[in-house]
Amino acid sequence: MSQNGKPKVAFFDFTSCEGCQLTVVDSLQDHPDLLAAVEIVQFREAMSEKGEDYLVAFIEGSCTRESDEARLKKIREQASIVVALGSCAHLGGVNSLKYLHPLDEVRRYVYGDQADWYDTYDVRPIEAVIPVDFVIPGCPIDRQEFISAVKALLLGKKPFIPDYPLCVECKLKENTCLFTRGKVCMGPVTRAGCDAICPTYGQSCEACRGFISNPNETAMRDVLTKHGLTVEGLTSMYTMFTTYQVRETLLQRKNANE
Amino acid sequence: MNKRIDVHHVTRVEGHGNIVVEIEDGRIKECRLDVVETPRFFEAMLRGRPYQEASHITSRICGICATGHATASLRASEKALSVEPSEQTQLLRKLTFHGEILDSHVLHAYMLVAPDFLGVGSVIPLATSHPEVVLRALRMKKLAGDICAVVTGRHTHPIAMCVGGFTHFPKPAELENLHQRLVAARADVDETVALFATLHWPQFERDTEYVSLTKPDEYAFIDGEIITSDGARLPAEAYRQVTNEHLVTHSSAKHTRHLRQSYMVGALARFNNNYPQLHPRAKEAAATLGLKPKVTNPYLNSAAQVVEIVHCVEDAIAIIDRLLERGITSEQPAPVKAIPGEGVGVCEVPRGLLIHHYWIGEDGNMTGADCVIPTNQNLANLEADMLALTPLIAEKPIKTMQLDLEMLVRAYDPCISCSVHVLEVEPK
């Protein structure tokens, strides 16, 4: 707490597009009251002032090099509450597409003979490096969900993040199901909370918020079969934001079977 | 005289960069902008993905110019696949593009640059000292974001854009509402020009080669030929003759050079190269701001952004007039006419020339990609400016020197997280 009794909050970024922090800026412009309720001590993208004493750390971005681990651990030591902000921090996000190719080959494709100049390793969500208390999912985060989460934290409550599939919200929006329009969609297994914004604008859900904790795989297969599709045909969409999760799940299952 | 400036992670810029300046016995020993952002490997990651996904993946290169990346990506795919977007698609893309330029320029000019001139560390203390300035910036930024949201669902990252067109269409009432707000925003725009006309820009001149797109009939943001202030003119497909990307040890972002050791892209380059196509009100704003091409003070890139704010508001009004007049239809995306293919998509995003170059295989999957980012193109020029500026300010107190250098970096509006990727790619 600062002397004025306001909780001190800091924002940090690792490998990301910084779009979630921009969404934070956009969210706050509609909620100046929230800005008055906290003291922001670090937000490199928006301010030069810098304080090392903070209670809550919001972290955007994935960990993609060993040298970033120390910085993450330092944040964890200081902050009482660590919140993963957005898909890159939460899941590894689009950064984890790198997994689909051999790491060395990816480096050479981009940096050629000088690949060794640049430090990188297998992408991971921040929870793979430090314990995370809360997650605000999405690519980018949903403005309303961010505001609700901050309000909950200020009240000492656990932020509510839905654990039901996107289809619930999509139905409430009265959208036409994309499967009936011949498109595949990750809605049946993806965590809701974005108000089904992509299907509402005519695009398939790409699972940027990650899977619900107990996805009904059988029902998903049934939906696919009914529309003449296969899991294999969905592979590309399954891996857009969630390559790290899919890989971890497959590894766990493999280990369980052995 | 020995001095060392080491600004570890410059603030109020997008991404991670460090300014390193070292003066020993009065001689400049080091003068660099280190790009320490983590490498991101987007081009490598695009390979093997269906072309339909490319714009969704590449918009994630940048949270600020997500619409720009998506548009350059769609144009690259469309060129590769001989897709010809309709007039409606082109109008809607231009409209959302203006929304993004406005959003980015307002953010940069008001929230990242203005605090330096008003003697504060960020926009937050300004809310107390200059509330009317902050409220105006927030109003304009909200309008800009709402333009993008009406057309594509949201600004970061746009949803409804696809190869050949759109998957969702704005309602006339939504466009009429935007129109009213844009007309009303003229007052804020005038105030913005008046405010920036009062700022005392650092005096520093260094001529360079200015590179941008150009079109005969409009101030180019999407498509066009590449021109430079040194007289070169070439089709977008020949971009590598201009960019000549190369690696340097202190940066995970590639550098570029054309006819000189470095060149500049962005609002100032567009202003210098395309002044005749600016809206008359934007030209008036330029006169108020004291800008006349060719401007060679890089700090005035922020002033050129203010001129573009005026242009984009006026052009957005004109585009909505045209859309309402012709009516909006829920049309299907324009069809793919040829596959496989190779295509180059070019845009002028807020920070300058953006190029996406794609190779798409027979199965519709990407086989290769090359993206050239504005910030990469500016890095060598920015360092050349730092090198020219440092001797002129070397006698100043170190804090003042540091601020002058930071302001120079900020004037370029660098987007460092965009810049670390890179290429030299041939399809497999």
Position A77 in a domain: yes
CATH code, domain carrying A119: 3.40.50.700
Rg (CA), chain A: 20
What confidence tens digit (pLDDT) does each residue in B80-107 have? 999 999 999 999 999 999 999 999 999 8
| The predicted structure's pLDDT at residue B19 | 83
* Contacting residues of A for B121, CB less than 8 Å apart: 47-49
| The predicted structure's pLDDT at residue B38 | 64
Residue A19 sits in the same domain as residue A147: yes
Residue A81 sits in the same domain as residue A184: no
| The predicted structure's pLDDT at residue B16 | 67
Residue A200 sits in the same domain as residue A128: no
Residue A12 sits in the same domain as residue A138: yes
Mean pLDDT of B315-333: 97
| The predicted structure's pLDDT at residue B77 | 98
pLDDT of A108 above 90: no
Position A1 in a domain: no
Q: Is residue A114 classed as helix, strand or coil in its secondary structure?
A: helix
Is B301 within 8 Å of B266 (Cβ atoms)?
yes
Mean pLDDT, rounded, of chain A: 89
Rounded distance, CA B273 to CA B353, Å? 13
What confidence tens digit (pLDDT) does each residue in B129-182 have? 888 888 899 899 999 999 999 999 998 999 999 999 999 999 999 999 999 999
- Classify burial at B28, counting beta carbons within 10 Å of its beta carbon; exposed 0-12, middle 13-18, buried 19 or more: middle
Is A73 within 8 Å of A59 (Cβ atoms)?
no
| A198: Cβ contacts below 8 Å, ≥ 6 apart | A204, A205, A206, B153, B159
Residue A192 sits in the same domain as residue A122: no
Report which residue type is found at B106.
V
Nearest chain A residue to B419 by CA distance is A17
Mutate which of B7, B19, B35, B45 to test chain A, going by most A C-beta atoms within 10 A?
Answer: B45
For A257, list phi and psi in degrees, rounded to 5: -80, -20
Read off the DSSP letter of residue B61. Answer: G
Residue A41 sits in the same domain as residue A128: yes
Q: Is B39 on the interface with A (CB under 8 A)?
A: yes
Is B385 within 8 Å of B345 (Cβ atoms)?
no
Highest mean pLDDT among A52-61, A97-106, B33-42, B73-82: B73-82
Residue A86 sits in the same domain as residue A147: yes
Of B50, B66, B166, the CB nearest to A19: B66
Nearest to B263 by CA among B377, B420, B387, B355: B377
pLDDT of B45 above 90: no
Mutate which of B140, B156, B363, B425 to test chain A, going by most A C-beta atoms within 10 A?
Answer: B156
Contact (CB<8Å) B41/A200: no
Q: How far is A204 from chain B (nearest CA, A)?
A: 10
Rounded distance, CA B50 to CA A46, Å? 36
Q: Which helix (H) or strand (E) holds B144?
A: helix B131-152
Q: List b or e across B395-427, with b for residues whose CB sees 16 or more CB atoms inside 10 angstroms.
A: eeeeeebbbbbbbbbbbbbbbbbbbbbbbbbee
pLDDT of B401 above 70: yes
Higher pLDDT, residue B193 or B398: B193
Nearest chain B residue to A106 by CA distance is B44
Q: How far is A117 from chain B (nearest CA, A)?
A: 7
| A148: Cβ contacts below 8 Å, ≥ 6 apart | A159, A160
Residues 349-378 of B with CB under 8 A from A: none
Residue A107 sits in the same domain as residue A170: no
| The predicted structure's pLDDT at residue A43 | 82
Mean pLDDT of B396-418: 83
Largest CA distance in chain A: 63
Q: How far is A68 from chain B (nearest CA, A)?
A: 9
| The predicted structure's pLDDT at residue A146 | 96
Quote the number of domains for chain A.
Answer: 2
pLDDT of B422 above 50: no
| The predicted structure's pLDDT at residue A117 | 65
Nearest to B273 by CA among B189, B314, B214, B223: B214
Nearest to A141 by CA among A63, A189, A68, A197: A197
Q: Percent of chain A, pLDDT > 70?
A: 95
Residue A136 sits in the same domain as residue A179: no
| The predicted structure's pLDDT at residue B262 | 92
Nearest chain B residue to A16 by CA distance is B417
pLDDT of B418 above 60: no
| The predicted structure's pLDDT at residue A79 | 95
| The predicted structure's pLDDT at residue B428 | 31
What confidence tens digit (pLDDT) does each residue in A183-221 have? 889 999 999 999 999 999 999 999 999 999 998 889 888
Contact (CB<8Å) A100/B48: yes
Q: How far is B277 from chain A (nearest CA, A)?
A: 31
Paired tokens of B1: 């005289």
Position A3 in a domain: no
Contact (CB<8Å) B62/A200: no
pLDDT of B15 above 70: no
| The predicted structure's pLDDT at residue B425 | 27
Contact (CB<8Å) B53/A118: no
Using a cut of 0.90, tell me whether the model's pTM lies above it: yes
| The predicted structure's pLDDT at residue B127 | 78
Q: List b or e across B232-258, with b for residues whose CB sees 16 or more CB atoms inside 10 angstroms.
A: beeebeebbebbebebbeebbbbbbbb
Residue extents of the structural domains in chain B: 42-419
pLDDT of B426 above 90: no
Q: Percent of chain B, pLDDT > 90?
A: 67
Domain that holds residue A32: 8-154
* Helical ranges in A173-242 per DSSP H: 197-200, 217-226, 235-238
* Contacting residues of B for A202, CB less than 8 Å apart: 159-160, 166-168
Is B350 within 8 Å of B100 (Cβ atoms)?
yes
Paired tokens of A151: 């309000």
Which of these three, A131, A154, A177, is where a domain ends? Answer: A154
Q: Which helix (H) or strand (E) holds B212?
A: strand B209-214
| The predicted structure's pLDDT at residue A147 | 95
Q: Is B421 on the interface with A (CB under 8 A)?
A: yes
* Contacting residues of A for B99, CB less than 8 Å apart: none
Of A29, A49, A68, the CB nearest to B141: A29
* Helical ranges in chain A per DSSP H: 19-29, 32-37, 67-78, 86-91, 103-111, 143-154, 166-172, 197-200, 217-226, 235-238, 243-257
> What CATH architecture applies to the domain B42-419?
Orthogonal Bundle (1.10)
Confidence band of B427 (pLDDT split at 50, 70, 90):
very low
Residue A187 sits in the same domain as residue A59: no
Q: Is residue B153 classed as helix, strand or coil in its secondary structure?
A: coil
Rounded distance, CA B313 to CA B310, Å? 5
Enumerate helices (H) and strands (E) in chain A, giving the number of each. Answer: 11, 5
Residue A183 sits in the same domain as residue A231: yes
Rounded distance, CA B386 to CA B139, Å? 35
* Contacting residues of A for B45, CB less than 8 Å apart: 94, 97-98, 100-101, 106
Rounded distance, CA B106 to CA B109, Å? 5
pLDDT of A46 above 80: no
Nearest to B286 by CA among B381, B219, B384: B219
